[in-house]
Chains A and B, each alone.
Chain A
Amino acid sequence: MTLQELATALEWDVQCVGADLDVAVLGGYCGDLLSHALATAKPGEVWITIQHHANIVAVAQVTGLAGIALAGGVRATDAVVERAREAGVPIFSSADSAFILAAKIHHALRSEAR
């Protein structure tokens, strides 16, 4: 399942226009501690977080994440979106809580795998 397909299925608001959404999503990681994300998240995963400052873009770049899904209606500022656009890191915003968002992503990826 691509990031675009996942974003459409889960009705995410695409905050970072211009990023490549035609990448395969290999899983998800949920958490708000940056070093824990660096240590645990795997390349190709979607990062579910409520952190929405500029440093999350670098974490996603360094870790090789497919994109960032901001939970609980959190939205990145224009400055963060601009940095993400320059870096080619997709950022989405969802009204769902991190818990619900993780469940939906898990369900979507499992459904496709069947």
Chain B
Amino acid sequence: MRFVHQIKPRDIEHGGIASAQIKRELREGGVSAHDARRAGIVAFEGEMNLIVYSVRGGTVEVDVYPDSIEIVVEDDGPGIGDIDLALTPGYSTAPDWATELGFGAGMGLPNMQRNSDGFEIHSHMGTGTRIRCRIERREDDPARTGHSA
């Protein structure tokens, strides 16, 4: 399975729609609730980063393999100046309009990293950012989750 979503910059009104659709498509494709939830969170944070920060928007690409799910979030600018700082929980450069809506907690990239088993980020100022997240698939454990959300 492969899904590709184009995300427009500053399109806050539609923020999260692609991620919710990705989660639904993964569930319909037989991905466990646990994995679909992790992928949904990764996709949401990536999608919102494209909306809030990117110059021209970008893409969220999802590839589903038998053992893993790969999510690539990519844009062509502006790029991240200090990646280590951007990965620090609580650090944010979100504009005021975004923080007023509850974004800019400085947890976006850390959330992507935490919900991934493999996480790579490449970014250069003026060129753009590419984030690759790999989620190792596992079956749901009813005894642990108690539900199928």
A51 on interface, CB distance cutoff 8 Å:
yes
| A62 engages B41 (CB within 8 Å) | yes
Total chain B interface residues with beta-carbon distance under 8 A: 32
- Residues of B within 8 Å of A65, CB to CB, are 149
Do residues A43 and B145 form an inter-chain contact, with CB atoms below 8 A? yes
Contacts of B12 on A, CB cut-off 8 Å?
53, 55
With known contacts A61-B40, A62-B37, A39–B20 Cβ distance under 8 A: no
Partner of A62 from B13, B16, B101 at Cβ < 8 Å: B16
A39 touches B114 (CB 8 A): yes
Give the interface of B toward A (CB within 8 A). Answer: 12-17, 19-20, 23-24, 33, 37, 40-41, 43-45, 48, 101-103, 105-108, 110-111, 114, 145-147, 149
> Could you say which residues of chain B place their CB within 8 Å of the CB of A10?
none
Interface range on chain A (Cβ under 8 Å from partner)? 20 to 34
Bound CA span A6–B136, Å: 37
Partner of B147, one of A34, A44, A63: A44
Q: List A residues at the B interface (Cβ < 8 Å).
A: 24, 26, 32-36, 38-39, 43-44, 49, 51, 53-59, 61-65, 87
Knowing A26-B146, A38-B41, A43-B37 touch, does A62 contact B23 (C-beta < 8 A)? Answer: yes
Q: How far is the CA of A15 from the CA of B41 in the complex (A)?
A: 25
Contact at B37–A35, with CB atoms within 8 Å?
no
New A-B pairs, 19, CB < 8 Å, besides A57-B20, A62-B44? A34-B48, A34-B102, A35-B103, A38-B41, A38-B107, A43-B145, A43-B147, A51-B102, A53-B12, A54-B14, A55-B16, A55-B103, A57-B16, A58-B19, A58-B44, A61-B40, A62-B23, A63-B40, A65-B149
